Amino acid sequence: MRDSVKDSIIELGKEQWQGYILPIGYTTETYYDVAVEKRENGFSLAIEKKTFPQPVIHTPEEYDYPDRLFAKWWENARAWGILKEGKLIAAIETDPELWSNRLRITELWVQENFQKQGIGHALMETAKRQARQEKRRAVILETQSCNTNAVEFYLHEGFSLIGMDTCCYANNDLERKEVRLEMGWFPENE
């Protein structure tokens, strides 16, 4: 599949794919522990990779709002994917932040048995190409501090940590070890 991945990517039309639920889930043994400490002259922030006492499993069923293509709040979304035998095996969705001239990756999913074959990289290149064509100053995305495989993939793709939100998913994200991490890629750094 690796040689023909780029050629297999097609744009997914909103009419056909709107509302399609992406079965995003993962198992992790590690997390990035986020510690924020208020100090006299500001704040101290530490992010350190640690191991859970036992593996943590996240399934699509646990979320109130499962990941889906063309969600109503992404008004200008575009999506691309790969079909195999008529079934979607991977997808990426983007939505431009017009006010900040950034391109947000809103969804990225590769079916587990097709991972580590260059598909995620090819989809990421599609988003980067879109950003260059539209002259966006950055590509941004969110992931979770406990999704270390995703964090490491994004780092490998040239993204860096640009921010975090310690109460995005629940008011106890720090304790749950599931902090929203914002990551960014900047075309001029290529």
Tokens of 139: 């590509």
Judge contact between 70 and 108, C-beta under 8 A.
no
Tens digit of pLDDT per residue, the chain (190 long)?
A: 455 787 899 999 999 999 999 999 999 999 999 999 999 999 999 999 999 999 999 988 887 778 999 999 999 999 999 999 999 999 999 999 999 999 999 999 999 999 999 999 999 999 999 999 999 999 999 999 999 999 999 999 999 999 999 999 999 999 999 999 999 999 987 7
Burial of 11: CB neighbours in 10 Å, binned 0-12, 13-18, 19+: exposed
**What is the pTM for the complete model shown?**
0.93
Domains of the chain: 2-189 (3.40.630.30)
